[in-house]
Every structure is written in structure tokens, then in C-alpha cells.
């Protein structure tokens, strides 16, 4: 069956916060028309809750650290954030843990979303099981055309509210390398920086998924959902933080946050 997967971008502003148009375009993105999936098949996926509502996706790195997108944490106090792991639903089940703090990449640029990656430290450690565990990080950039999957909690319409019983969804996409994504084949040009890779498929768009969520290829985390222009638009693939590019930063920063 053919599923048209697109991502609805909700423009979100925060009182008193100054945000770039790029950041506004990616917050609270969600998958529309994706396939339901179970957390047991995506045990590395978590939801980042702000004021007890789904805010962004995240990926388990170890018992104490979650990887997400830096733009998800702009002007957000750690005391208002929680992480839910081990559940197919953002609002119930699994483990709910308070966030103790977070670290944005030192060179994160809110204007062009370069280096859009951050680590979140949990107040209490996760207990690993079949529904809660990390996935290996990519150490090399995936090749053009590699199969990948993006996952997150999404909506099936244009409402900006997350249904309480809405399950985790996923969409299969194809990797588009940084050079290819910045080429004349697509319309991003110089907006694609060294820290980014892209992914899309015909009629499908992993454009945003849930911001901060995982792009996984060949069993490894290759990208963190970052931004995109529109949804399922030809010549505008979804853009991700390139995990291989940040491998050393993730390892070193996680050690410092213990």
C-alpha cells in the first residue's frame, strides 16, 4: 500500500523569545500518514515533554543522556522538561523522568540551524530493557540512496494538539548526502552546511518528523531531525544533523555532563 508521508509544520512562538524563521518552521513538526509502530521496534526513541505535553523527540545515548535537536531547547528551563521512555504513547506508560540539565552545541546557530544538536541529562538513570535501550551512533556518513527510517509522535490532521492516544509513527526514507542535497538537484544550495545530511523519498518526506527525533539507517543513528522547507515538497528534502559529524562531540560532552 502506498502511503503519502508528509510532515505538517506548526509555527510555534515562545513569549519573550526571539527565534529565527527556520527555528519557527521546525518546532513541533509531526509525521502525517506514517505507519504506526511499536516502541519495541524503536526502543531508542523518547519523547521530550514540556509542561507535560509532547514537545520534541529524542534518542537514548546512555542511561543518563538523551540526544535531541538544539533548537528544541531554546529558552526552555530544564525544570519544565521531562523525558518519557519505553512507551508507544507520549502521555502514558514507560518511565517518566525529570530533566536535570542540558547542553547545546557550542556552535549552534539559530539563524541557519548549523550544529543543531544537544544533549539532555536526566535526573535519574534509565533502566534498559527490550523497550528502552540505545542504538549505536554512526561513525561514517551514510551513502546516498541508503534506506533509513524516521520516527516520532505525530498528528493526522492540521490540529496543533497531540491526541492522548496517538501512537508512535515511522516513515521509510532514502538518504541524500550533504553534497547532493546542496547541489542544483535540490533547492537548498548554501543552506546545507557541513553538519547536515538530508533524506526523502518519492511521495514521502521525513522533512521534520518530530524535531530532535531519530533517523536510523542500517541499525545506526545517522541523523537528528532538524528542519525542512514545507513538507513532501519536491526538491526540498528533510534536513538532519549529521550524527557522524558530531560523534566526538557527543562522546566528550556526555562524559562532561556526568
Residue positions annotated with a catalytic role: 71, 116, 211
Beta bridge partners of 152: 169
Tell which residue, 79, 32, 76, has the closest CA to residue 56.
76
Helix (H, G, I), strand (E, B) or coil at 256: helix
E strand intervals along the chain:
6-8, 30-32, 35-36, 45-50, 53-60, 65-68, 81-85, 95-104, 118-122, 147-153, 168-176, 196-200, 214-217, 220-227, 238-242
Strand partners, 167: 89
Amino acid at each position: 500500500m502506498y502511503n503519502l508521508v508528509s510532515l505538517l509544520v506548526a509555527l510555534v512562538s515562545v513569549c519573550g523569545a526571539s527565534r529565527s524563521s527556520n527555528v519557527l518552521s521546525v518546532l513541533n513538526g509531526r509525521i502525517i500518514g506514517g505507519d504506526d509502530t511499536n516502541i519495541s521496534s524503536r526502543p531508542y526513541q523518547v519523547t521530550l515533554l514540556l509542561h507535560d505535553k509532547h514537545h520534541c523527540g529524542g534518542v537514548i545515548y546512555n542511561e543518563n543522556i538523551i540526544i535531541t535537536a538544539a533548537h528544541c531547547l531554546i529558552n526552555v528551563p530544564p525544570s519544565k522538561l521531562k523525558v518519557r521512555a519505553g512507551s508507544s504513547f507520549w502521555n502514558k506508560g514507560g518511565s517518566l523522568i525529570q530533566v536535570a540539565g542540558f547542553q547545546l552545541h557550542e556552535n549552534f546557530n539559530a539563524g541557519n540551524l548549523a550544529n543543531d544538536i544537544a544533549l539532555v541529562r536526566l535526573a535519574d538513570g534509565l533502566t534498559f530493557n527490550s523497550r528502552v535501550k540505545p542504538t549505536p551512533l554512526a561513525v561514517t556518513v551514510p551513502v546516498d540512496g541508503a534506506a533509513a527510517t524516521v520516527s516520532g509522535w505525530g498528528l493526522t490532521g492540521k490540529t496543533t494538539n497531540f491526541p492522548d492516544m496517538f501512537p508512535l509513527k515511522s516513515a521509510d526514507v532514502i538518504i541524500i548526502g550533504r553534497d547532493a542535497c546542496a547541489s542544483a538537484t535540490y533547492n537548498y544550495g548554501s543552506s546545507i552546511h557541513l553538519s547536515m545530511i538530508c533524506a526523502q523519498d518519492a511521495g514521502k518526506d521525513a522533512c521534520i518528523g518530530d524535531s530532535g527525533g531519530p533517523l536510523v539507517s542500517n541499525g545506526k543513528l545517522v541523523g537528528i531531525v532538524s528542519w525542512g522547507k514545507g513538507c513532501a515538497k519536491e526538491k526540498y528534502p528533510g534536513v538532519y544533523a549529521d550524527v557522524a559529524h558530531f560523534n566526538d562531540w557527543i562522546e566528550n560532552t556526555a562524559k562532561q555532563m556526568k
